[in-house]
Amino acid sequence: MQCESYHRSAPGDEYFGRMKISYLGIDNTAHDVAIEAGAYTTDPRLISKIEFADDALRAWEHRYPGDPQLARSYFLMVQALRKIYTPDAQQRAWAYMQHIIRVYPASYFAKVLRGEVARGFTEHWFALPEICPTPEPIEPRHREPATPTPEPTPIASPTPTPAPGEPKVEIITPPCVEAPSPTPIPEETAPAELPTPEMVPSPEATPTMR
């Protein structure tokens, strides 16, 4: 059985996807992104890294569908994707969880994920920020000393109860952003008048000497 699994495994020196990543590189990228992301992230740099690794992972599975190491790599990819708070990453993490449970039901990773699904899985992503409201002007006589305004924190708003077999979704409202100040339009100025050259009298013709 071990010999048969080895024949279905990808060699360590074969590379997949657009960036030509080995299966070890896929695992290392997913592991590193999950650590660098902290609690959550929307860093485009990390998103780009995980996108290339995910592309290589799917190319690997397409070429070696029976590779027993795929379950582990998909599990590591789930751990990274669930920390990226975008709709695409969150939905992909849920789809890969279902993929592991369905395709690798006897694996340790499927057992772990079945427990998480049973306890309830929640997707998280940020809503688009809104423009901050314009503050009302204050009369000078009523003006009070300015006090520092605390930095607003994101507010999570859970969605209604999901359908059976679907994850819950929590959309996080980010702090508002200041409206961009209008760019001043340069005033058109009349072209400067050029000084008119003084009229120089033409020299009179001098009589020729005969």
> Using one digit for the tens of pLDDT, what is the confidence trace for 123-169?
888 887 788 887 766 666 555 555 555 555 555 555 556 666 788 88
What is the C-alpha separation between 205 and 210, in angstroms, rounded? 15
112 three-state secondary structure: helix
Structure tokens at 156: 């999570």
Question: DSSP code of 92?
Answer: H
Closest CA to 157 of 121, 120, 122: 122
Instruction: Report pLDDT for 148.
Output: 55
For position 174, what pLDDT does the model report? 81
The arithmetic mean of pLDDT across residues 72-101, rounded, is 96
In the three-class reduction of DSSP (H, G, I as helix; E, B as strand; rest coil), residue 201 is classed as coil
40 pLDDT higher than 90:
yes
Give the residue among 167, 170, 169 at the shortest CA–CA distance from 157: 170
Is the pLDDT confidence value at 190 over 80? no
Question: Which tokens belong to 97?
Answer: 């969880």
Q: What is the mean pLDDT of residues 70-95?
A: 96
Output the pLDDT for position 21. Answer: 95
Q: Quick one: how far is CA 5 from the chain centroid?
A: 37
In Å, what is the CA distance from 105 to each residue of 64, 102, 117, 118? Answer: 18, 6, 14, 15
150-172 as b/e: b if 16+ CB within 10 A: eeeeeeeeeeeeeeeeebebebe
Task: Tell me the C-alpha distance between 135 and 139, whole Å.
Answer: 13
Determine the average pLDDT of the residues in 75-94: 96
Which DSSP string do the residues of 22-38 spell out, in sequence order? -HHHHHHHHHHHHHHTT
**What pLDDT is attached to residue 103?**
95
